[in-house]
Structure 1
Amino acid sequence: MNWQNRLITIYLYVCKHYQQNLWVHSQRMSHYADLSFSDEEVITLFLFGVMAKHREIKGIDEYADRHLRDGFPDSRVM
């Protein structure tokens, strides 16, 4: 499976579980949350970054910014 299909598969999986019951445990509660970028997208980028062997938020953010900007144009994890 190539990386694009893996990313889409993770996104669909996250969306399914987020809508069922994950949203209760993972909603952003900050007054400064940028809601133009969905919680599902944040979770997907985090999981994809971890799968790419990044363990810190900063590394995941830099990885997403360099490699996934086209698929998530409004993203800024940090």
Structure 2
Amino acid sequence: MNWQDRLITIYLYVCKHYQQNLWAYSQRMSNYADLSFSDEEVITLYLFGVVDKHRAIKSIYKYADRH
């Protein structure tokens, strides 16, 4: 499975569970939240980075920024 298929699969999984009950545990509550990304997209980027063995948030950000 290539990286695009993995990313789409993770996104669909996150969206499904976010709609059901995950939203209550993971909504951004900051007044300064950047809403150009949805909560589902932020969670997907984080999980995609972890799957590709990036542990630090800064490392995940750099990895996602390249795509």
Q: TM-score range by the shorter chain?
A: over 0.9
TM-score of the superposition, structure 2-length normalised?
Answer: 0.96
Aligned to 2:37: 37
Q: Distance in 2 between matches of 1:24 and 1:12?
A: 18
**RMSD over aligned Cα, in angstroms?**
0.6
Alpha-carbon offset, residue 18 of structure 1: 0.2
TM-score of the superposition, structure 1-length normalised?
Answer: 0.83
Q: Distance in 1 between matches of 2:3 and 2:37?
A: 21
Q: Unaligned 5+ residue runs, structure 1?
A: 69-78
Give the fraction of aligned pairs with identical amino acids, expressed as a percent: 82
Q: Unaligned 5+ residue runs, structure 2?
A: none
Aligned to 2:3: 3
Query: Number of residue pairs matched?
Result: 67
Return structure 1 stretches of 4+ with deviation > 4 angstroms.
none
Higher normalized contact order (CA 8 Å, seq sep 6+, divided by chain length): 2
